A and B are shown apart, each in its own frame.
Chain A
Amino acid sequence: MWQAYEMPQSVEEALQILGQYDGRAQLIAGGTDLVIELQEGKHSVDCLVDVTRIPDLNRIEEGDGYIYMGANVTFRQIKDSALLREKARVLPEAAATVGALQIQTVATLAGNLVSALPAADGSVALLALDGEAEIVDKAGSAWRPVAELFLGPGRSAVDPARQMLTAIRFPVPEGRHGSAWERIGRRRALVLPILNCAVSLRLDEAGQNLVWARIGLGPVAPVPFRARETETYLAGQPATEEVFHQAGEMAAKEAHPRTSLLRASKEYRVEVLKVLVREALARAAHEAAGRE
């Protein structure tokens, strides 16, 4: 499967090893997707560069108006983070639905982004939070919106043979903000989602109208999907059941999920999508209304 296995102690060293292999080495974080892909022979590499021993990449912290998560932060850490549960619960709620505990303990949010799967729970949740990722390569480092990282199913703008995603951040939500995660699968653990939905929103000071809302959906397109038309409709609307119902109808039209042998029929998924959007909006608005 691979002939060499390196465990660098710094980002610089990791990039240096990638450089030596000139495209024939690849980074591995949790590896819960990658090990299976390599076993199935979908692609091959000469060397895996394991980044999990690089210190200081496993922190979740708040600073300069953002919440930062290092590249080695696992879904388990996200699920258990008091900071995230308070400020952006959509992310810990999504983390809790990834695989099962043994996978959450090992798999990373950064790996979830680079795997670039259209159903990826962590990626869909980050879309609703307006997440950004720091990409480092020989030329330097830059923050890029998470939404720009997905090129197609399993195709990321981050090249794990030459670049490293070192951190993820999103703006600390302010005011009366709320968020929520909804997901449906055939059972609660160890299944891919039939559909998932992430919402974050802000209410005005009176707690009556939506200032803005963001909706992430998967898997309804080749990449994690942002329901921007529905978001445009929601801005300025009152936070009522009727509005959330209408948003569900709009999101189902905008996203048009397809029939999938692995998941469910189009007809079923359209109806479920409406409900997930409606319920996520209602839960997020309820959380927002409860804030000072």
Chain B
Amino acid sequence: MEPKTYPLTMTVNGQPVTLEVEADELLVDALRDRLGLTGTKIGCNEGECGACTVIMDGEAILSCLVPALRAQGREVLTIEGLAEGETLHPLQQSFVEHGAVQCGYCIPGFVLSAKALLDRNPHPNRDEIKEAIAGNLCRCTGYVKIIEAIEAVADSGG
């Protein structure tokens, strides 16, 4: 039996969108395959790496574990929604300046976990930063430079 399709209306990066999605489509696939937003990565595809992190209604979630239809009526923010034209978001700029990026695959997830943190707590301490990114794995650079990049933005007031 073929999956039924359903209309899905949500806001993605500030723009209202309506899509037809399959019953068993996951949010990560709708974002990547239907909207072409491939900045959201698939790493483990089972909720253990954080590469697919997006922000839904202000909170970081794993888009590989969430059925697309659960985003009905919600606001979704992906890494593509952060920069203003050619100007990087302060977190993105800080990751570049601190050398927090190597292969880059995990970075969209880290940046979005950090953004969700700073949006609710503009001045987190180091432990709060570590807690916020504990669900994101990086296999290249380690975590110190990533933490420093987030701290620098927090110190400057978000």
Residues of A within 8 A of B (CB): 1-5, 7, 28, 31-32, 35-36, 38-39, 46-48, 50, 52, 76, 99-103, 105-106, 188-190
A4 touches B135 (CB 8 A): no
Which residues of B have CB within 8 Å of A189? 134-135
Given known contacts A3-B3, A7-B72, A101 and B132 CB-to-CB distance under 8 angstroms: yes
Query: How far is B131's CA from A189's CA once the two chains are assembled, in angstroms?
Result: 9
Which residues of B have CB within 8 Å of A38? 24
Give the A-B contact count at a CB cut-off of 8 A. Answer: 88
Q: Is the interface of B mostly helix, strand, loop or mixed?
A: loop
> Which 10 pairs across A and B sit closest by C-beta, in order of nearness?
A100-B135, A189-B134, A1-B24, A5-B23, A102-B135, A3-B3, A102-B62, A2-B24, A100-B134, A105-B59
Minimum Cβ distance to chain A for residue B105 (Å) = 17
Query: How far is B135's CA from A67's CA once the two chains are assembled, in angstroms?
Result: 30
Interface size class of B (residues with CB under 8 A): 20 to 34
CB nearest neighbor in B for A104: B135
CB nearest neighbor in A for B48: A190
CB nearest neighbor in A for B64: A35
Q: Among A5, A46, A99, point to the contact of B67 (Cβ < 8 A).
A: A5
Which residues of A have CB within 8 Å of B65? 31-32, 35-36, 103, 106
* 15 A-B pairs with C-beta separation under 8 A: A5-B24, A31-B66, A31-B67, A32-B47, A48-B23, A52-B70, A100-B135, A102-B50, A102-B53, A102-B135, A105-B60, A106-B61, A106-B66, A188-B134, A189-B134
Which residues of A have CB within 8 Å of B46? 36, 39
Which residues of A have CB within 8 Å of B59? 76, 105
Residues 55 to 76 of chain B near chain A (Cβ within 8 Å): 59-62, 65-67, 69-70, 72
